[in-house]
Amino acid sequence: MSANSVTIGVFLALFVFVAILGLFGSRWRAGDLSQLHEWGLGGRSFGTLITWFLLGGDLYTAYTFIAVPALMFGAGAMGFFAVPYASLMYPVLFMAFPRLWSVAHKHGYITAADFVQGRFGHRGLSLAIAVTGMVAVLPYIALQLVGMQVVFAAIGMDYNIAVPLLGQVSVPLVVAFAVLAAFTYTSGLRGTALIAVVKDLLVYVTVLAAIIVIPAQLGGYSHIFAAMPVEKLTLPAAPDHSFGAGFSYVTLAAGSLLALFLYPHSVTGLLSSSSRHVIRRNAIVLPAYSVALALIALLGYMAVAAGVDKMPEYAAGFAAYSANFAVPALFLHMFPAWFAGFAFAAIAIGALMPASIMAIACGNLFTRNIYKGFIAPDCAPRTEAKMAKLVAFIAKLGALFFVLEIDTTYAIQLQLLGGIWICQTVPAVLLALYVRLNPWALLAGWAAGIGSGTWMVAELGFKGTTYPLHLFGWTIPCYAALSALVLNIAVAGVLHLLLKDKGGAQTDETAAADYV
């Protein structure tokens, strides 16, 4: 695609400004970044406002601006599942996660796997939770990289070079990768939090413009819906002896709801808060981020109404990135060049910031629960922090594998893939905030859930995450995360009853008072 110098200029100016801001984040609320809790949790010092921006960054990412509208553009109403789950997750956040903050603060836990180790005294279960978190977050980082790739292509910066073993690699993506690695290493979570503030301001302006200006140019929302094919406006009717797409929709929402705040980067954001009350306040005010989510999802419908996929100037973008190119093409078509650059900067920075906290979370998990837990239990605090920084860099390289090797016709599949795995930590983390099951039973349930969930998406060629179950003559299309979690809980529950106290003599270092 031909580049517009104004669009590129605005984009680069904002991107460079935010990158510099991230690099100097270490000087903001200065702390000893050679300590893991300072580098990886910001010293547990963030108040309500900073936590609001930081956790909001987990919601408004490339997932919101690229993946959800792309699903609406290509598949229609099914993409709307993100709206109810984004609304329903806040009561869970309000009730459960202040308990996690309290017990983590009491015992110095940095990761969810730290909590599992303390709660159950079982190294194998803690290792399983740590590895699951690290693997589950890689496709989520990859989703952010896909978002940046699409933006670079939209502004004409889709330069590729051939790399042995990797094939064609985007040069701008490598540069963005280097920037991300630099400020993550240098500033840790402080730099990420500082970027989150600027990023969210850019996002708010872009959202307001997109949901007001674009519909006005298209003749209003009534015209947008009138231009949509009927089959994209509603879910298809259920065939005979099938639960139909409606059940798939519900399970996608339910599984995503359970997964969101169990992701390592979400736990990192929560534990960086200065108190449990900060989390509860955010559970009340964070829904402000979700108010416009339904309208952002409708950007996919707006792209259909505008007919951007039929415009020859965007043919190359759609050929390379499929439905993921819908929103960039819409912005190019509807906005003046300078504001298109502004909007693309918001999307790219909206991918850069969560990718940073995701990489930090991977570093925390590896250092605390694998390196210190099994390799060097007596390592010095400085060594802990250095190892976390190194692994944060390696995590970004791992995410590149998903970008290059997994089908990203719908980028949202990357997030849903990670959700399948992270949902299998629900019994050992979320439920464990209230009840303590036998750790061996939990480990067996985890293995059953991980194995079955991975098998289901492998059967779908890693191109989908809704697997049709065939039970008693009925077809039940279900998000693999939820069906695998049902098996997980069933196995853990049965084994807990069978084992009772056998193998459960491991100590629980937490007490009831630690959770309140």
* 238-284 pLDDT, tens digit each: 788 788 888 999 999 999 999 989 999 999 999 999 999 999 999 99
At residue 329, does pLDDT exceed 90? yes
- Separation between Cα atoms, residue 310 and residue 85, nearest integer Å: 32
Residue of higher predicted confidence among 397 and 119 = 119
Q: What is the pLDDT of residue 99?
A: 96
DSSP string, 95-160: HHHHHHHHHHHHHT--SHHHHHHHHH--HHHHHHHHHHHHHHHHHHHHHHHHHHHHHHHHTT---E
Q: Give first-to-last CA distance, the chain, whole Å.
A: 56
**Residues in a beta bridge with 479:** 466
What digits encode the pLDDT tens for the residues 312-327?
A: 989 888 888 888 899 9
Region of poorest pLDDT, from 57-71, 377-391, 461-475, 482-496:
57-71
What's the residue count for the chain?
A: 516
Where are the extended beta strands (E) located within 386-479? 466-471, 474-479
- Mean pLDDT score of the chain: 86
Task: Give the pLDDT of residue 428.
Answer: 96
Kindly give the residue spans of alpha helices, DSSP state H, lying in 24-122.
36-41, 48-56, 62, 68-75, 82-107, 112-120
User: 489 vs 277, 430, 452, 486, CA distance in Å?
Assistant: 31, 12, 13, 5
Average pLDDT over residues 9-27: 83
Label residue 209 exposed, middle or buried (CB < 10 Å: 0-12, 13-18, 19+): middle
Write out pLDDT tens, residues 175-218: 777 777 787 888 888 888 888 888 888 888 998 899 899 999 99
Cα–Cα dist 71/410, whole Å: 6
Distance between CA atoms of residues 510 and 500, nearest Å: 20
Label residue 148 by pLDDT band (50, 70, 90): confident
pLDDT, position 333: 92
Is the pLDDT reported for residue 1 higher than 50?
no
The residue ranges of every structural domain in the chain are 5-237+253-410
Count other C-beta atoms under 10 Å from residue 247's C-beta. 18
- Which 8-state DSSP code applies to residue 417? H
Average pLDDT over residues 278-297: 84
Q: State how far the Cα of 82 lies from the Cα of 404, in Å rounded to an integer.
A: 26
The answer to whether residue 226 scores a pLDDT higher than 50 is yes
Please say if the pLDDT value at position 160 is more than 70.
Answer: no
- Cα angle value 30/31/34 (rounded, 5°): 135
Bigger pLDDT: 397 vs 505: 397
Half-sphere exposure (Cβ direction) of 242: Cα atoms closer than 13 Å: 13
Output the pLDDT for position 490: 97
Query: In terms of Cα–Cα distance, which of 265, 198, 264, 346 is closest to 58?
Result: 265
Mean pLDDT calculated for residue range 130-152: 87
Q: What is the mean pLDDT of residues 133-142?
A: 87
Mean pLDDT of 455-479: 89
Residue 510 pLDDT > 60: yes
pLDDT above 60 for 165: no
| pLDDT at site 339 | 94
Alpha helices in 274-374 (DSSP H): 276-285, 287-290, 293-297, 299-306, 315-321, 326-334, 337-366
| Of 124, 113, 110, nearest in space to 438 by CA | 124
Is domain 5-237+253-410 in CATH 1.20.1730.10, yes or no?
yes
State the chain's maximal CA–CA distance in angstroms.
69
